[in-house]
Each structure stands twice: as structure tokens, then as C-alpha cells.
Amino acid sequence: MLKPTRLLLLGAPGSGKGTISRKLLKRFPQLHSISSGDVLRSHISRGTKIGREAETLIKAGSLVPDSTMIGLIAEQLKELGGLNGEASWLLDGFPRTLSQAQGLTEILDASGADLNMVVELDVDQEIILQRIDARWVHLPSGRIYSLDYNPPKVPFTDDVTGEKLVKRDDDNPETFSKRLLVYNEEVGPLREYYETLGTWHRVSGDSSDIIYPKVERLLLRD
């Protein structure tokens, strides 16, 4: 495994980034995870100004502004000691735009902690849309369950806390289709950017059981 490992996971909404991240963290405990979704959920649950603004945008199927996300992720990296050049970490779902990627590179360059691997999860988007109706979530933690392939032990109940699962406001085909369109527009320039830097890898599959072993092999190979 790369030492230190500074890994970025990218993929369309619903492609399984959270599931792959959890499996990587279990396999490689030296990794520290920074999830853009977790960061936003924390602000939303605390009712901060950023959280209130983000909640409104997410419900409408829109994305949080680049400048806001760059600041939030930089703050998380600093808190975790991820800017010292020696720490190993995993970014889940950020950056999503070329502007975010360039802003992140500036921050990392200044600290000598550049990304050394970028992995895009390539999942058929028709399959993603089919999964939406089966997806339920434990909002406080962000844990996601699928009634089709990752059901909770007790129906509609979180495995860890026993609390009820809910449907996210944006977990409907119409809103999700908008999010996929936005992702498809933005990922092209992002992909080209990291290909130029020599860090881009694509891993394809229709489920985390297929995708995860491929991601693990990439990390072990390097």
C-alpha cells in the first residue's frame, strides 16, 4: 500500500462511495476518512448557517457552492492532521468539480500532501436509478441500506442504534436524475485534470461486491 496513502474516491450519486469507503477503512485502519456528505450532515444536524443553506440546496437537487465545500474540507483535513504530509487519508465524494479540484490542489501543494491516487467508481446509471426506491438511510450517521442487497437486520431499523430508517427527501427518481446530469457534466473536466496529473484510475462494476476487490488491488499494487 502507498505510504502515506492520499486517496480520492469519486463516482456518481448512488454509485456506492460510502460502502467502498467503509470497507477500505476496515481493511486499512491507518486511513482517516473525510466524507463531504458527513461534513455537510454534521452542519445540517447542528443547524449552522452553512447547514441550513446546504439543506435547502440538497432538497432542491442542487449542489453546495465550490468555495463553501473547499473551505469545509480544508478545515476537516487540518483538524485530522491530514496536511502534514505523513498522514494517510481518504476523500469520499470531494472534489466534484474542476474548480474544487484546483482549490484542493493549491491547499495540498502548500502542505506537501498531494493526492497520490484518484479512483472513479463507474456504475451503470440506469442501475443507480433502479436502486433509489430500495434505499433507506439512518440520517444521524449517514448509514445507507438497500432493501435489495444490503437490508437492515430488522426491517426499516438501523443495525447500530435501533432507530427508524427514513427516505431522504432527494431519494426520488426525478431529483436523482438531475443530480446524475450535473455529475455527468462536471466529471469530464475533473477526469482530464487528474489524468494529466497521472493519478486517475477507473473501476467498473454494478455492485460494491464487484467493485471493492478491484479498488483494494489498486491500493495493494502500488
Task: Determine which one of 23, 96, 131, 143 is catalytic.
Answer: 96
Q: Is 52 annotated as a binding residue?
A: no
Task: Determine which one of 23, 131, 143, 179 is catalytic.
Answer: 179
Tracing cell 427527501 back to the chain, one arrives at: 169
Q: Is 142 annotated as a binding residue?
A: no
Q: Is 112 annotated as a binding residue?
A: no
Task: Determine which one of 168, 191, 202, 214 is catalytic.
Answer: 168
Q: Is 22 annotated as a binding residue?
A: no
Contacts by 198-203 with C-beta closer than 8 Å and gap 24+?
199/8, 199/115, 199/116, 199/117, 199/118, 200/118, 200/120, 201/117, 201/118, 201/119, 201/120, 202/119, 202/120, 202/122, 203/119, 203/120, 203/121, 203/122
Task: Determine which one of 17, 23, 131, 143 is catalytic.
Answer: 17
Task: Determine which one of 6, 23, 131, 135 is catalytic.
Answer: 135
Q: Which is it for the CA torsion 174, 176, 179, 184, positive or negative? A: negative
> CA-to-CA distance for 96 and 55, rounded, in angstroms?
18
Taking a C-beta distance cutoff of 8 angstroms, is the pair 1, 220 a contact? yes
Q: Is 4 annotated as a binding residue?
A: no
Pull the grid cell for residue 74.
480544508
Q: Is 14 annotated as a binding residue?
A: yes
Q: Is 160 annotated as a binding residue?
A: no
Q: Is 16 annotated as a binding residue?
A: yes
> CA-to-CA distance for 173 and 128, rounded, in angstroms?
10
96 tagged catalytic: yes
52 tagged catalytic: no
Preceding peptide of 4 cis, ω within 30° = yes
191 tagged catalytic: no
Q: Is 19 annotated as a binding residue?
A: yes
Q: Is 99 annotated as a binding residue?
A: no
Q: Is 176 annotated as a binding residue?
A: no
Q: List the binding residues for GTP.
A: 14-19, 135, 144-145, 208
Q: List the binding residues for AMP.
A: 36, 41, 62-64, 93-96, 100, 168, 179
Q: List the binding residues.
A: 14-19, 36, 41, 62-64, 93-96, 100, 135, 144-145, 168, 179, 208
Catalytic residues: 17, 96, 135, 168, 179
